[in-house]
Amino acid sequence: MFPATHDFFDSMSFLSRYQCLLALAAALGLFALESLQNVKRIEALSSREGGFSFVTPDKSSRTGYAHGVRNLIGSDRNDDLHWVINSQQAAERNDFRLREVDYDNAPDGRESHWSSVYSWWIRLLAWGEPSRMEWSMLVANALLGALALVVVALLFQRNFGGSSGVVVCLCFSGFIPLRDVFKVGMGDHHAAAIFAVMLMVSFLLVGLTRAVEGRDARLLAGASAAFGALAMWINVVSVLPVFLGIGVAAICIRIWVRSSDSVGLGNYFRLWCRCTAGLSLLAYLIEYAPSKFAWRLEVNHPLYSLALLGTGELLGLLFASKPKTRRRWIRGAFACVLALQLPLAIVLFRGTVFQVADPFLMAVHERYIMEFQGLWANVLVMGSKLRLLAMVLPLLLLPALTWLLFRMKRASPEFAGMLLAMGPACILFVLTLFQARWWSALAALTMLPLALAFAGGAKRYTNRSIQLFAGACLLPGLIVFGMGAFTYGTPTPREDARVYERSIAHYLRARAADEEIVALASPDATTNLIYYGGAKGIGTFYWENNEGLKRAASMFAAPSLEIARERLSAAGVTHLLVYSWGGFEKEYLDLHRDFSEEAVDGKAFLMRLMEDQEIPQWLRPIPFQLPKEAKGMAVIYQVVPEMSPGQLASRRFEYLLEMGLGRAAHALEASLKDQDDLSAQVSLCRLLALQQRGNEFRVRLDKLREAVVQPEADLLLEDEIRLAGVLLIASRAAEAKRHLEHALSRLDREALRELNAETIRHLWDLADALELDAYEADLRTYSIALLPSRLRQAGK
């Protein structure tokens, strides 16, 4: 389309003819190699055991595993996990669309407004089989990335020359923010939105260069509109800055570009806006009709279609050459109303129609989510210097392209094309400075003007210095890309944490079997418990769950233990978890303090529990010891019927002992002595035996034996097992055997799941030592599966 000129890409006739195809083949080849490395990485990461594994294949389960657990670890992100859950749930229900989910904001659940079209893509790749959707999710974006590369490269090669197609291939390979979203393992809808936006702008600017020359471009406008509507359907917020950039570029084209058919240019933009509006309205109806209509502007909505219609009419009037008649002023005024009703609705109704504008949710995003932080904040946390250069250097291309733009002849088609391509990129550049979440889209749309700079007549302005500068900006990214094609690197700390959190989720699911788990934890931990353990949660980082986040904050910030119990009970919470890594619990307290009207007198529930160790009698600590290489600790509590003070003291002692915190366990001696409860006295005897305080041990044991006249009536199962162990230490084998025989007679699967892992191991060690075999063999096999890996071999 642009006149061809000679440059270094065209130095050899063979390369001149096939340069784009060769570059495309090389880029796809390296992309395939990198994808294979990422598959190996996922398999290696998923095969690691973080202390416990509970994975039993089950074809009848929607997840492919018994009890609804999952196992695959693709990355350290959360969106891909929720997409898998939603897609599997929709497939199991045979739902075309999923508008509510029950696993979040327990017990009520919450609305879900995620685009169904992306879920259909995941389900299509899995051939409708729910158990395959973990993998289909992780490769979905890689396939979209490969398709986008092929389409954009060939489109530019056909219309702007082979050199521009080569630059597309180099940019796709060298722009790390762009390629990262299309990597195998990076599964979320933002990549699909970027895919649609790239194709929308690509077809639009090809059509524009034709319209400037007075040629028919309606088909290209329609193709662009189709991808624009698709982008709106997937994630309308991500495409709004692009629409703004296109509008600004169109105004600049009207001012600076002298076309022989300015009315034709106006009609081109009007047609594009009308088609995009119509198709986006159709997408809305497919998503919500006939009965699920919602007044939610975070997602595609007819108000966006009306705004596009108004904008298209305004642009058409702007390019019109007719005199300004009264009729045109009326049309313009009506178009302004259509264009402005959308921002006016958001400003007037804020959180009612645009949940992200809620002050609480805005604070969550701005304070605590890295992708909503500024560019500099994200740069500071980058570890690799090479990757840092690969991420930052391409940002310098946009100022260079702006300088190049104003060197071009303003009446030329290439100037119009560059203006249109630069408009969205400049808007995204400014947004990226304040929120790094726009970085990937910026990289995608920086690729287009850079490719145009090497297209046809535009190349006369692109001298060797600019070519070398562009190459220098791309080089670090190309090196990172090449390295990724042959090695997959080491796991990140967040991925290590996900391995451990998966094990915790599996352990809780093993203890609960098919009973419902409702977990109160930090948002990231909650997502992992939902995904890997089949649990339900309260608060996760999604705008649809604003209510759940507020409720979770109110639970951690409860001003008393009694109020905390009421709030946890109302939500049906069964487990409370606090991890020493990546937590959000104290942030919950800050948010509740800043945005809740509740007056907080005294310490919050979280601080009483974690700092003061003021454990209420309705929380039982559940020991789970992480592998030695793990740097951190997981604190797990189970919500239980109120225990006696002696039972709580005993459970705390046994918990600390199993967690390897012997000194802290022994410090509870006074608490145990203060209680006459049998549970406390059994634990006290164990403490004295561990400290080898023989005389005192025998005195306490004799008192305990006197108290236990009818052990089967008074002792809990776990206490009876421990008592048998204490009696065996005291060389009272006959009594130990009698108590253990009774304990074995009380065993069933439900009773075994209530026991701590150390108690299960202790049970079978005692049975072997006392040569008891009066139990069902399958119960022993079942209980061994409940043991963490460090105890499993010892318990066989």
Q: How many CB atoms lie within 10 A of CB 464?
A: 9
- Structure confidence at residue 7 (pLDDT): 46
The whole-number average pLDDT for the span 168-172 is 96
Crossing angle between the packed helical segments 133-160 and 116-125, to the nearest 10 degrees? 100
Q: Output the six-digit token pair for 225.
A: 């509109």
- Structure confidence at residue 15 (pLDDT): 61
Q: Band of the pLDDT at 12, cuts 50, 70, 90? A: very low
Cis peptide before 107 (omega within 30 of 0): yes
Task: Kindly tell me if the per-residue pLDDT of 221 is higher than 90.
Answer: yes
Q: Output the six-digit token pair for 657.
A: 């002992």
Please state, in angstroms and rounded to a whole number, the distance separating the CA atoms of residues 217 and 209: 9
Please state, in angstroms and rounded to a whole number, the distance separating the CA atoms of residues 38 and 487: 9
Q: Could you tell me which of 424, 605, 412 has the C-alpha nearest to residue 3?
A: 412
Q: Which residues are paired to 637 by β-bridges? A: 576, 621
The whole-number average pLDDT for the span 654-669 is 94
Q: Band of the pLDDT at 491, cuts 50, 70, 90? A: confident
Please state, in angstroms and rounded to a whole number, the distance separating the CA atoms of residues 635 and 551: 21
CA atoms within 13 A on the CB side of 305: 18
Is residue 289 a contact partner of residue 343, using CB atoms and an 8 Å limit? Answer: no
Least confident of 10-19, 70-79, 427-436, 725-734: 10-19
Q: Band of the pLDDT at 5, cuts 50, 70, 90? A: very low
DSSP 306-375: HHHHHHHHHHHHHH--S---HHHHHHHHHHHHHHHHHHHHHHHHGGGT-GGGSHHHHHHHHHH-GGGS-H
- Straight-line distance from the first to the last Cα atom of the chain, in angstroms, rounded to the nearest whole number: 75
The whole-number average pLDDT for the span 705-726 is 83
- Structure confidence at residue 691 (pLDDT): 93
From the centroid of its chain, how far is CA 196?
21
- Give percent of the chain with pLDDT exceeding 90: 68
The whole-number average pLDDT for the span 319-343 is 84
Q: Which residues are paired to 537 by β-bridges? A: 519
Q: How many CB atoms lie within 10 A of CB 738?
A: 16
Place of tokens 């007075």: 214
The torsion of the CA quartet 6, 9, 12, 13, rounded to 10 degrees, works out to -70
Residue 360: CB partners within 8 Å, gap ≥ 6? 546, 549, 550, 591, 595
Task: Kindly tell me if the per-residue pLDDT of 1 is higher than 60.
Answer: no
Is residue 477 a contact partner of residue 176, using CB atoms and an 8 Å limit? Answer: yes
Task: Kindly tell me if the per-residue pLDDT of 11 is higher than 50.
Answer: no
> Nearest-5° angle of CA 406, CA 411, CA 415?
45
Q: Output the six-digit token pair for 59.
A: 């074809």
Please state, in angstroms and rounded to a whole number, the distance separating the CA atoms of residues 101 and 78: 16
Q: Output the six-digit token pair for 245.
A: 């950039």
- Answering whether pTM is above 0.85, one says yes
- Structure confidence at residue 286 (pLDDT): 93
Q: Output the six-digit token pair for 589.
A: 């307290």
Task: Kindly tell me if the per-residue pLDDT of 9 is higher than 50.
Answer: no
Higher pLDDT residue, 1 or 423? 423
Tens of pLDDT, residue by residue over 747-759, are 999 999 999 999 9
For residue 57, give the DSSP letter: B
Please state, in angstroms and rounded to a whole number, the distance separating the CA atoms of residues 370 and 575: 28
Q: Could you tell me which of 361, 319, 365 has the C-alpha nearest to residue 545?
A: 361
Count the helices and strands in the chain (H runs, E runs).
36, 7
Q: Output the six-digit token pair for 65.
A: 């595993």
Classify 513 in phi/psi space as left (phi over 0), alpha (psi -120 to 50) or beta: left
Phi/psi of residue 699, nearest 5 degrees: -65, -50
Task: Kindly tell me if the per-residue pLDDT of 266 is higher than 60.
Answer: yes
The whole-number average pLDDT for the span 186-194 is 92
Gyration radius from the chain CA atoms = 32
Please state, in angstroms and rounded to a whole number, the distance separating the CA atoms of residues 767 and 90: 48
Task: Kindly tell me if the per-residue pLDDT of 460 is higher than 60.
Answer: yes
Please state, in angstroms and rounded to a whole number, the distance separating the CA atoms of residues 420 and 249: 5
Phi/psi of residue 705, nearest 5 degrees: -65, -35
Task: Kindly tell me if the per-residue pLDDT of 699 is higher than 80.
Answer: yes
Helix (H) or strand (E) holding 620: strand 619-621
Domain ranges of the chain: 8-38+138-243+257-296+376-484
Q: Could you tell me which of 559, 569, 636, 561 has the C-alpha nearest to residue 602?
A: 559
> Nearest-5° angle of CA 278, CA 247, CA 230?
35
Which class for 493: exposed (0-12), middle (13-18), buried (19 or more C-beta within 10 A)?
exposed
Phi/psi of residue 578, nearest 5 degrees: -135, 125
Q: How many CB atoms lie within 10 A of CB 214?
A: 12
- Structure confidence at residue 61 (pLDDT): 87
Residue 83: CB partners within 8 Å, gap ≥ 6? 114, 118, 119, 122, 137, 187, 188, 189
Task: Kindly tell me if the per-residue pLDDT of 93 is higher than 90.
Answer: no
Least confident of 115-129, 489-503, 559-573, 697-711: 697-711
The torsion of the CA quartet 753, 758, 759, 763, rounded to 10 degrees, works out to 110
DSSP E strands, 443-559: 518-520, 536-537
- Give percent of the chain with pLDDT exceeding 70: 95
The whole-number average pLDDT for the span 366-390 is 89
Please state, in angstroms and rounded to a whole number, the distance separating the CA atoms of residues 623 and 634: 9
- The CA–CA distances, whole Å, from 347 to 326, 351, 358, 372, 727 equal 31, 9, 12, 21, 73
Q: Output the six-digit token pair for 697.
A: 């041990």
Task: Kindly tell me if the per-residue pLDDT of 684 is higher than 50.
Answer: yes
Is residue 444 a contact partner of residue 195, using CB atoms and an 8 Å limit? Answer: no
Classify 572 in phi/psi space as left (phi over 0), alpha (psi -120 to 50) or beta: left
Task: Kindly tell me if the per-residue pLDDT of 4 is higher than 60.
Answer: no
Is residue 103 a contact partner of residue 537, using CB atoms and an 8 Å limit? Answer: yes
For residue 492, give the DSSP letter: P
For residue 514, give the DSSP letter: T
The whole-number average pLDDT for the span 300-327 is 88
Is residue 138 a contact partner of residue 20, using CB atoms and an 8 Å limit? Answer: no
